[in-house]
Structure 1
């Protein structure tokens, strides 16, 4: 019985007209060979497309968004954009950015310089594909783990007409790939970059901490109700970020269902981990603030009974929940671009 054919991974090499298109055309065969040598278990299908994607001036986030649209329309698995636009991070020129969650990377041709440009473009393009697959910045990732991720990316799950069942199959069959995508996205940095959400959360926390009615509510609520309030606050800010900034994608065809499902799972996981990190930080701050700023005698008087550590923990718990709700209100004031930039961390490669 004949062995099954190896699965395909389709890589779109999108190049702007002019020099980028010429470089991409020259690179296609070499990129295919390099990827096949590194990941022999799959067949690499590298497709070169000439498309400027955006009108200058444009930043990397706009290029990634436009490339993502093209990726879904063409039903690719990954995309690398070769552009003649300069890329900067904090006013520093960088060679390339990679967004593993989107499956899109951007290579800035001007940052490669004039000498050895073709060789450097090949090395950077292959490195960007590795980054999209979850290889760490040092290049010391486990080769076998990376091969598994490529196979997971290339292998379609059993088809199902039920959305929940299909998503469950994608999750169970691509768990390593998903974890790599989320890890590369650095979700713990999410809320730090959303200034309005963070400011609103801190303001709500301070207000709750010095309000005697909140002290009594925390004391009367009990652990079950405090848990429900905490979960509700986390869900509120997560929904605000995902829905408000339109981070959820819809599959346009059956071929890209897995690609979109992975993106949505990674997006939700990124937001949830980021919000839980915020919640944990707010809890620690609220507990420290309660112990330092709320005098024991005054606290006991407000509660109507002697205070203890458990009372301070309950106060910190309710305070962090209310602060998170305040963060949800602040997140609603953030621009869609700010939320997307915070939710999707692009991995920069510095230029010379």
Structure 2
């Protein structure tokens, strides 16, 4: 990736074409042979679709994983190779079958990792090279955050490609560098997070969800919790709610080692985008859980806590605001319970839930 001149307010108009480095990683044997045949055609197709950047395709023969292995293991291994080789994107051609919900698929793409996997067996025996080219071009579009099947805004897609290819100045450090990556690649980042479907995060973590519901039910039927919610006030309730969200987010990110560290200056932007997308995915997922728990707690308090009994526990007549406070505290405590449950999830389960791989069905 080449850096854009920092003094030019319109680098897209005057700067030399930036590089997008794509690693084409193929397993030994038939996948490697197909990758060699595919390289020139793929480079030409990408240049034709996105002439604003220079496409640098690098073919590497590497099995990456030892079978049997699923797509998540392949993506993780390819991500490690991507960072080691300092690529922008990686496409893996494997001879292993891929499936989602027992359904055979041709390929998976994980925009947040910048990695796609193409299954050679699913391509069939007829017109394999043509189908591989079409599928790989589609996978690259997905990695770029273009999920509209060619019906989106071409100008927006060109901007995302330029954002991927252009590095912020390396002189900035820490928070300043991350801020530049965020502001300069906002559309790309939004596409990565949206493709990751963050609202589905906690639904897929059964232990975290079970612990959250159990903690919420316990809080809802405990008179001491009623009185605490009444005495806390809105500011303290907000602090408790924020603390519960931070707790489960930290548990997921730190516990499952979702945070990456840059191995060299060249991959700093790649790692920063990954960490930003990961953090945004987890935060949005947890906030979705919190909102759902709040609505469930509010509905449960109105249905399960009689007004007379509630008023007796509070020491004053129960109003709608009291029910809202109880639902707020209950959802916060339930979220803390979810954090405890998240700590019991395996790292593989958390990564699988945090990173959605989009399948293309075999034809």
TM range (shorter): over 0.9
**Structure 1 counterpart of 2:352:** 341
**Structure 1 counterpart of 2:195:** 184
| Contact 2:170 2:265 survives alignment (8 Å) | no
Alignment of 1:117-196 (within 5 A): 117-136=128-147, 138-196=149-207
CA distance in 2, matches of 1:99, 1:339: 15
What secondary structure, in the 3-state scheme, does the structure 1 residue paired with 2:167 have?
A: coil
CA displacement at 1:161 relative to structure 2 = 4.5
Please state if 1:9 is matched with 2:20.
yes
Deviations 1:138-166 (A, max 9, x none): 33222111110000000010123521110
CA distance in 2, matches of 1:338, 1:139: 33
CA distance in 1, matches of 2:70, 2:150: 26
Correspondence for 1:57 among 65, 68, 75:
68
User: Which piece of structure 1 moves more, 277-286 or 154-163?
Assistant: 154-163
**Structure 1 counterpart of 2:299:** 288
CA displacement at 1:3 relative to structure 2 = 5.1
CA distance in 2, matches of 1:232, 1:89: 36
**Structure 1 counterpart of 2:243:** 232
CA distance in 2, matches of 1:189, 1:138: 22
CA distance in 1, matches of 2:80, 2:63: 13
Structure 1 residue runs of 4 or more that deviate by more than 6 Å after TM superposition: none
User: Which piece of structure 1 moves more, 159-168 or 257-266?
Assistant: 159-168
Correspondence for 1:30 among 35, 41, 44:
41
- Structure 2: tracts of 5 or more residues without a match: 1-12
**Structure 2 counterpart of 1:116:** 127
User: Which piece of structure 1 moves more, 235-244 or 28-37?
Assistant: 28-37
CA distance in 1, matches of 2:194, 2:105: 22
Please state if 1:78 is matched with 2:89.
yes
Taking only aligned residues, the RMSD between alpha carbons, in angstroms, comes to 1.0
Correspondence for 1:107 among 111, 118, 122:
118
CA distance in 2, matches of 1:144, 1:248: 32
Q: How many residues align?
A: 351
**Structure 1 counterpart of 2:6:** none
CA distance in 2, matches of 1:157, 1:3: 16
